[in-house]
Each structure stands twice: as C-alpha cells, then as structure tokens.
C-alpha cells in the first residue's frame, strides 16, 4: 500500500473541495426547486396564455438534474484524478446535457396538441381532430431522432455510415417490421379518408364502441361494457366501418299487434291517432314517418310504426321512444282496444259417433 498517498494532505483537500462543491449544488438544486421554481410557476399562471406555463412545467425535472450535471462537472475540476479534458468524461457530460434538453422538449411536445388546437380554433383552420395527436407524436419522434444523432456525433460515431448501413439492410428491416409499417400506413389512411374521429361511435367486425385515441400503431375504442379494445390500424383500414355518430337522425321501428275482436272502425281510428301522435311529437324528425295497418298475423292485426328521433344520443333516443310508447298505450286504453295475446284452439271432447263430426273448438 502506498502510504504516501494516504498522508497526501493536498490530495485529500482537493477531494474534500470536490465533494463540497457537489453537495453545494445539491443544496442549490433543492432551494431552486422548492422556492425559486415554485415562484416562477405561480407567476406563469398569471400569463395571458398557457404556453409559458407548459414550457416551465416541461423543463422542471430536466433543470433539477442540470444542477447535478453542472455540480459533477465543476467538482471534477478539483478532483485529483480528473480524466483528460478531451476524453470520454466530457463526452458523457455533453451527452447528459443533450439528454436533458431532449427530455424537456419531449415533455413540451406533449403540450403541442393543446397549442395546435388553439391555433386551429383561433385561425379557423381545417385541421381534423385526428391529425393533431399525430402531429404531436411526430414532433416527439423527430426530437428523439435528432437527439440520438447529436449524441452519436459527440462520441465520434459515424452517423453517415450508420445511415448507409440502414440502406443496405432496409429490405430485411422492412420484412421484419411489415406489421408495424402496415399499421403506420393504416393510420395514414384513417387520417386522409376520415372514416371516424376521436369521440365517434363506430362499429366494425372487430369492435363496437367510442373512439378514445388514435396512434401510429393502433386505435383505442371504449366498448359499451366500459372496456378498452386496442385495434391495429391495419385491421381497421381493411374492414367495413359503420360510423353511427354521423347519423343525422336515429331510427325507431317496431310492430304492435291488436286483437282480432277490434272492429274495423276502431282499428282505423287507432292507426290514425297513433300517426298523429308520432307526427306531433316535437322530438321526432318530420321525414319518413310511417304508421300503417300492415299484416294479418296469427294472433291479431299488426300495426307497423317507423320514424326517426332528432337526437342520435342513445339516452335521448330511448327517452323519446318511451314517451311515445306510453302515449300509444293511452290511445289503446281510450279506445278500449286490447293487445293481441298468443292463443291456441283445442278440442276438449270426443267426436260424435252417430254423426261422425267434431265438437266446437274451445279457445284458450
């Protein structure tokens, strides 16, 4: 053991200074995040736009880590075993700063959806709601790609050769990632053709529910059982899609059977009253209203009703339908007309042996 190093006062002094500087920056970091940055965030809340606050919130964590990086770099200057100034250590310091900047910009890119939405509303631009999340994700990918390139250059990696290598192996990569590429193109098809957007109620052979999110790879749909189903974009792009949210009105179609004991005059009166009731309802669409005596069924006369509610929302649609159903019951009761019930005719006694005829049937 080299006891000379152990008793080297100057060396231990330098180590103590290095450790002290690093601990001092840890204290600065704590004070900065607890007092100064909290004050900055409170002041940013009073700004006329939210963009300034988004910037400060996005860079909050990276700035806290920046204190540690700066502390390590300054402390290393007094460290007796400091690496060479132009060596790997400096490359790690530079790469760390680039990572922190990328981290902040990546966080800020998540707020770009809010920015794009505000620009769209302010200038009344024709930007689809699906496109805004895609633009935000594309900005994130670009930020990460540029960051990786800069970091690679800091370590003197030949980026040009890497790109050339990707060109040579492009066929193999494309074959291995064919599903991912298919989903990416499926996402672009969904954006350009716009069969649906976020918030729409859709039905496909794979899923039915409300669209919650659309990414480069897949679309998330919340079903009516309140579960999230993730469907690859390539699958959706190749399926038939019914977009119920594009309905301008919502269909109601059903039948009412009334007893054969109802006289013709009453049947005609009931049908006309039902038609007037449906046409007079304020929340029924005036187009395509049909109320007709339609068929002779086994158990009675069948009246066919066909109309549309103005509201396409399911709850409102059911409420209007319920109101009309209750009113139809009132019409039948006021006219003393009964609903047809299933019935059969049975023969309860033996045949008459003398005449060889069957007795009169009894209805049950």
Helix pair 88-110, 131-154: axis angle to 10 deg: 170
CA–CA separation, 1 and 19 (whole Å): 24
Give yes or no for residue 351 having a pLDDT over 70: no
Q: What is the pLDDT of residue 163?
A: 58
Give yes or no for residue 261 having a pLDDT over 70: yes
Give the residue among 100, 193, 93, 106 at the shortest CA–CA distance from 144: 106
If DSSP states are collapsed to H, E and C, what string results for 23-69? Answer: HHHHHHHHHHHHHHHHHHHHHHCCCCCCHHHHHHHHCHHHHHHHHHH
Which of 45-54, 96-105, 186-195, 252-261 is predicted least confidently?
45-54
- Give tens-digit pLDDT for 218-242: 889 999 888 999 988 888 888 888 8
Query: Using 50, 70 and 90 to split pLDDT, how confident is the model at 309?
Result: very high
CA–CA separation, 339 and 348 (whole Å): 26
Query: Using 50, 70 and 90 to split pLDDT, how confident is the model at 66?
Result: confident
Give the residue among 336, 327, 339 at the shortest CA–CA distance from 273: 327
CA–CA separation, 263 and 297 (whole Å): 16
Q: What is the pLDDT of residue 227?
A: 92
**Which residue's entry shows tokens 């806290």?**
64
Tokens of 8: 């080297």
- Give tens-digit pLDDT for 104-160: 888 887 766 665 556 555 655 555 556 666 777 778 888 888 888 888 877 777 666
Q: Say if residues 318 and 250 touch (Cβ distance below 8 Å).
A: no
Question: Span 47-59, mean pLDDT?
Answer: 72
Which of 183-187, 246-250, 258-262 is predicted least confidently?
183-187
Element (H, E) at 170: helix 170-176
Query: Using 50, 70 and 90 to split pLDDT, how confident is the model at 30?
Result: confident
Residue of higher predicted confidence among 36 and 130 = 36
Phi and psi, residue 338, nearest 5°: -105, 150
Share of the chain above pLDDT 70, in %: 73
Strand partners, 257: 302
Q: What is the pLDDT of residue 112?
A: 62
Q: Say if residues 132 and 113 touch (Cβ distance below 8 Å).
A: yes
Give yes or no for residue 102 having a pLDDT over 70: yes
Residue of higher predicted confidence among 125 and 340 = 340
**Which residue's entry shows tokens 């006369």?**
301
Question: Span 45-57, mean pLDDT?
Answer: 71
Q: Say if residues 189 and 235 touch (Cβ distance below 8 Å).
A: no
Give yes or no for residue 355 having a pLDDT over 70: no
* Cα torsion angle, 112, 116, 121, 122, sign: positive
Residue of higher predicted confidence among 237 and 47 = 237
């Amino acid at each position: 053991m080299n006891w000379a190093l152990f008793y080297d006062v100057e060396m231990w002094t330098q180590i103590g200074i290095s450790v002290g500087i690093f601990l001092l920056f840890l204290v600065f970091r704590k004070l900065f995040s607890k007092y100064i940055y909290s004050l900055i965030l409170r002041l940013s809340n009073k700004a006329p736009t939210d963009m300034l606050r988004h910037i400060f919130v996005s860079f909050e964590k990276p700035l806290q880590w920046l204190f540690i990086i700066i502390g390590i770099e300054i402390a290393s200057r007094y460290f007796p075993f400091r690496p060479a100034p132009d060596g790997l250590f400096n490359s790690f310091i530079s790469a760390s700063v680039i990572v922190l900047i990328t981290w902040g910009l990546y966080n800020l890119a998540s707020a770009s959806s809010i920015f794009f939405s505000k620009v769209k509303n302010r200038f009344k631009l024709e930007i689809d709601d699906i496109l805004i999340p895609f633009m935000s994700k594309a900005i994130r990918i670009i930020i990460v790609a540029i960051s990786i390139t800069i970091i690679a250059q800091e370590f003197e990696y030949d980026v040009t050769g890497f790109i050339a290598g990707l060109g040579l192996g492009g066929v193999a990569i494309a074959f291995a990632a064919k599903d991912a590429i298919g989903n990416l193109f499926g996402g672009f098809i969904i954006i350009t053709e716009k069969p649906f957007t976020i918030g729409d109620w859709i039905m496909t052979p794979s899923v039915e529910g409300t669209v919650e999110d659309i990414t480069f790879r897949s679309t998330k749909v919340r079903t009516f059982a309140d579960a999230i189903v993730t469907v690859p974009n390539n699958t959706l792009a190749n399926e038939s899609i019914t977009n119920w949210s594009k309905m301008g009105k919502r269909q109601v179609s059903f039948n009412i059977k009334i007893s054969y004991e109802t006289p013709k005059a009453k049947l005609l009166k009931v049908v006309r009253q039902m038609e007037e009731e449906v046409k007079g309802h304020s929340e029924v669409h005036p187009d395509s209203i049909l109320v007709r005596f339609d068929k002779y069924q086994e158990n009675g006369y069948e009246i066919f009703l066909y109309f549309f509610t103005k509201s396409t929302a399911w709850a409102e649609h059911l409420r209007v339908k319920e109101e009309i159903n209750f009113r139809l019951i009132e019409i039948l009761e006021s006219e003393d007309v009964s609903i047809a019930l299933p019935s059969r005719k049975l023969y309860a006694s033996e045949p008459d042996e003398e005449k060889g005829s069957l007795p009169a049937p009894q209805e049950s």
